[in-house]
Chains A and B, each alone.
Chain A
């Protein structure tokens, strides 16, 4: 007999991938802004974390606009980690925009336009808007799944208030979110008509005598009165850039063809600035200055730096955090040398936080945190060996060895990574120093080695 396969119900919760900084959950400071040695995924760098904590307080305060901070230090000393820590401690309500210095170079948009868009993405406006919501008690949910298992589901939802009753047709997304929220008959819910967001208010009092197994936190509420559809004011945060985009779209049928926004006219920006200031004075809106983080800031050129100088003076500018790993080097777009590849006049406006190389103990601690994050178990000796590798080569190389060694270990059906596994991946993958050594020895047998003799300019 042919059996029909019933497809598995896929979980809606997203599986997150592990990134280079996914173990960072904050800056690891206590209430007095004193850094703890190991906390929230942060290790060491006590002075720079404390400095970042002070900056964080300034951002949260929100009164000071247009300050800029530079995090400078050798590669692999936690510059990006500190910036991520600041982003995590600010929470989801404060805008945090991150970009790499090379991102602004595009053929479609001028450098300064890309920078201004980034600046405006980092300023949030909290504003009240009217939306239509449906509020009622669930009488019945009926979801029909097609017998074949594939194809669209059909759903109906009956809601009532004390005065009326309405049947709604449900789209696929709505069916998913209703089952995710575990909405059932007797619940009082609100649905945002535009976004489809469902929130459960509680259970109706009329169901209070049902002998249901329910948690202690179940709340009983009255069945709503009057009409099912209501207009309600909700507060939400949008960035200045989003308002720019809404207002710069070509109107009429041309809007169909213009997918991207391209450059936004400065008149539009000025109008919006004026409008936002007006709303703020009338108390309709609140401005939430956020953070713009530019990684690898030495990749910006002279024009961008002079634009930054000017942009930081505006009172609608966010706190700018930059990070670089360069020493005294050529400023891009000029022939002048300058510390960090940033012109002196901009450096003068910056608060500079320096990061220092990690000690052996700290390296050991960081490797331990990464092992937990990547779900790899390390034996005590292997941990010591890996720390040694981290000290002699680089922290990044040692971190890369964790997951590869973990894989080698799993292939030989081991549960804990041993020194042998580390040795094996150490021999399989070269670190930077060994790779250069190899190049020097076998230079002659590589292609184009003659042209390489004229030393490559590595300053950029």
Chain B
């Protein structure tokens, strides 16, 4: 089944673990050349960061794409950089809890009744709309896509406070079991301590 195939891909990938700054950092290298990096809190075992890196069609090394966690900021925003979003725009990020996937969109100073959040099962995505036509976002849940699980509109809820819209989607049973299993597996990996380590996957 699809749920198992994702677990198998994870298991067959080359993994390197590192414990640093109270975080368990794991780097995965998959057989198709893709790379994934995850960071877990050591105490609570919560996922803090998950990011991906692909090679472009021509073979150039791509940039890290953040799936979960704080978006990466450019080292120094150069003056001549072509175009970028103004800092007053809404910023979108995903931050999961133990039981649900959760997205936070900051900088949205509108009342709660402006927003409508819905599931589009045919396109496998969640859509956030605003009645004042200021914000619109369409996003998928890669975790469910990887395991080929259906989207369920009853699992979806949202709140609004402090200029932040929080959208939650309850994790289905299958995801919870996978995460438990994976965490056990990762704890078995010998995490090297502080300092430099030879990364086997690079």
Are the C-beta atoms of A161 and B136 separated by less than 8 Å? yes
Are the C-beta atoms of B136 and A164 separated by less than 8 Å? yes
Task: Tell which of B21-29, B126-134, B164-172, B186-194 binds the partner.
Answer: B126-134
Q: Which residue of B lies closest to A247 (CB)?
A: B59
Interface membership of A441, Cβ < 8 A: no
Q: Which residue of A lies closest to B202 (CB)?
A: A252
- In the complex, A284→B58 CA distance in Å? 12
Closest Cβ of chain A to B77, distance in Å, is 9
- In the complex, A170→B129 CA distance in Å? 27
Are the C-beta atoms of B57 and A129 separated by less than 8 Å? yes
Are the C-beta atoms of A172 and B80 separated by less than 8 Å? yes
Interface membership of A12, Cβ < 8 A: no
Are the C-beta atoms of B133 and A165 separated by less than 8 Å? yes
Are the C-beta atoms of B133 and A171 separated by less than 8 Å? no
For A128-164 the 0/1 string (1 means CB < 8 A from B) is: 1110001000000000000000001000110011111
Interface membership of B162, Cβ < 8 A: no
Interface membership of A169, Cβ < 8 A: yes
CB proximity to A under 8 Å, residues B76-96:
78-86, 88-89
Are the C-beta atoms of B82 and A127 separated by less than 8 Å? no
Are the C-beta atoms of A227 and B137 separated by less than 8 Å? yes
Q: Which residue of A lies closest to B57 (CB)?
A: A129
Q: A156-B86, A252-B202 are in contact. Are A164 and B135 (CB under 8 A)?
A: yes
Are the C-beta atoms of A152 and B79 separated by less than 8 Å? yes
Are the C-beta atoms of A173 and B59 separated by less than 8 Å? no
Closest Cβ of chain A to B86, distance in Å, is 4
Are the C-beta atoms of A171 and B80 separated by less than 8 Å? yes
Are the C-beta atoms of B85 and A193 separated by less than 8 Å? no
Are the C-beta atoms of A166 and B56 separated by less than 8 Å? no
Q: Which residue of A lies closest to B132 (CB)?
A: A165
In-complex Cβ contact of B85 among A128, A167, A191 (8 A)? A167
For B50-73 the 0/1 string (1 means CB < 8 A from A) is: 000000111111000000000000
Are the C-beta atoms of B136 and A227 separated by less than 8 Å? yes
- In the complex, A193→B83 CA distance in Å? 7
Q: Which residue of B lies closest to A272 (CB)?
A: B59
Q: A130 to chain B: which residues have CB within 8 Å? A: 57
- In the complex, A162→B57 CA distance in Å? 33
- In the complex, A167→B130 CA distance in Å? 17
A-side interface residues, number (CB < 8 Å):
39
CB proximity to B under 8 Å, residues A340-390:
none
CB proximity to A under 8 Å, residues B130-165:
130, 133-138
Are the C-beta atoms of A169 and B83 separated by less than 8 Å? yes
Are the C-beta atoms of A171 and B79 separated by less than 8 Å? yes
Are the C-beta atoms of B83 and A164 separated by less than 8 Å? no
Interface membership of A442, Cβ < 8 A: no
Q: A161-B136, A171-B79 are in contact. Are A166 and B85 (CB under 8 A)?
A: yes
Are the C-beta atoms of A170 and B83 separated by less than 8 Å? yes
Interface membership of A168, Cβ < 8 A: yes
Q: Which residue of B lies closest to A225 (CB)?
A: B136
Q: B89 to chain A: which residues have CB within 8 Å? A: 166-167
Are the C-beta atoms of B83 and A174 separated by less than 8 Å? yes
In-complex Cβ contact of B60 among A163, A196, A246 (8 A)? A246
- In the complex, A334→B16 CA distance in Å? 58
Q: A173 to chain B: which residues have CB within 8 Å? A: 80, 82
- In the complex, A170→B84 CA distance in Å? 7
Are the C-beta atoms of B83 and A165 separated by less than 8 Å? no
- In the complex, A313→B141 CA distance in Å? 52
Are the C-beta atoms of A246 and B58 separated by less than 8 Å? yes
- In the complex, A293→B138 CA distance in Å? 51
- In the complex, A251→B59 CA distance in Å? 12
Q: Which residue of B lies closest to A268 (CB)?
A: B59
Q: B58 to chain A: which residues have CB within 8 Å? A: 127, 129, 238, 242-243, 246-247
Are the C-beta atoms of A164 and B84 separated by less than 8 Å? no
Are the C-beta atoms of B138 and A168 separated by less than 8 Å? no
Interface membership of A414, Cβ < 8 A: no
Q: A243 to chain B: which residues have CB within 8 Å? A: 58-59
- In the complex, A242→B59 CA distance in Å? 11
Q: A163-B129, A163-B133, A227-B138 are in contact. Are A251 and B61 (CB under 8 A)?
A: yes
Interface membership of A226, Cβ < 8 A: yes
Closest Cβ of chain A to B82, distance in Å, is 4
Closest Cβ of chain B to A28, distance in Å, is 38
Q: Which residue of A lies closest to B82 (CB)?
A: A196
Interface-central residue, B60, B61, B82, by most chain A CB under 10 Å:
B82
Q: A163-B129, A163-B136, A243-B58 are in contact. Are A169 and B79 (CB under 8 A)?
A: no
Q: A152 to chain B: which residues have CB within 8 Å? A: 79
- In the complex, A156→B134 CA distance in Å? 17
Closest Cβ of chain B to A144, distance in Å, is 14
Q: A164-B133, A227-B138 are in contact. Are A169 and B85 (CB under 8 A)?
A: yes
Are the C-beta atoms of B202 and A246 separated by less than 8 Å? no
Q: A170 to chain B: which residues have CB within 8 Å? A: 83
Q: A157 to chain B: which residues have CB within 8 Å? A: 83
- In the complex, A196→B83 CA distance in Å? 7
- In the complex, A362→B78 CA distance in Å? 56
Q: A129-B57, A243-B59, A246-B59 are in contact. Are A168 and B136 (CB under 8 A)?
A: no
Are the C-beta atoms of A164 and B85 separated by less than 8 Å? no
Closest Cβ of chain B to A107, distance in Å, is 29
Are the C-beta atoms of A171 and B59 separated by less than 8 Å? no
Q: A127 to chain B: which residues have CB within 8 Å? A: 57-58
Given contacts A167-B86, A272-B59, 6 further A-B contacts (CB under 8 A): A164-B133, A169-B84, A170-B83, A173-B80, A226-B138, A227-B138
Tell me the A residues contacting B by CB distance below 8 Å: 127-130, 134, 152, 156-157, 160-174, 191, 193, 195-196, 226-227, 238, 242-243, 246-247, 251-252, 272, 275, 284
4 cross-chain pairs, A with B, having the tightest CB-CB distances, nearest first: A196-B82, A163-B136, A164-B136, A167-B86
A–B Cβ pairs within 8 angstroms, 10 of them: A164-B135, A166-B85, A166-B89, A171-B80, A171-B81, A193-B83, A226-B136, A242-B58, A243-B59, A251-B61
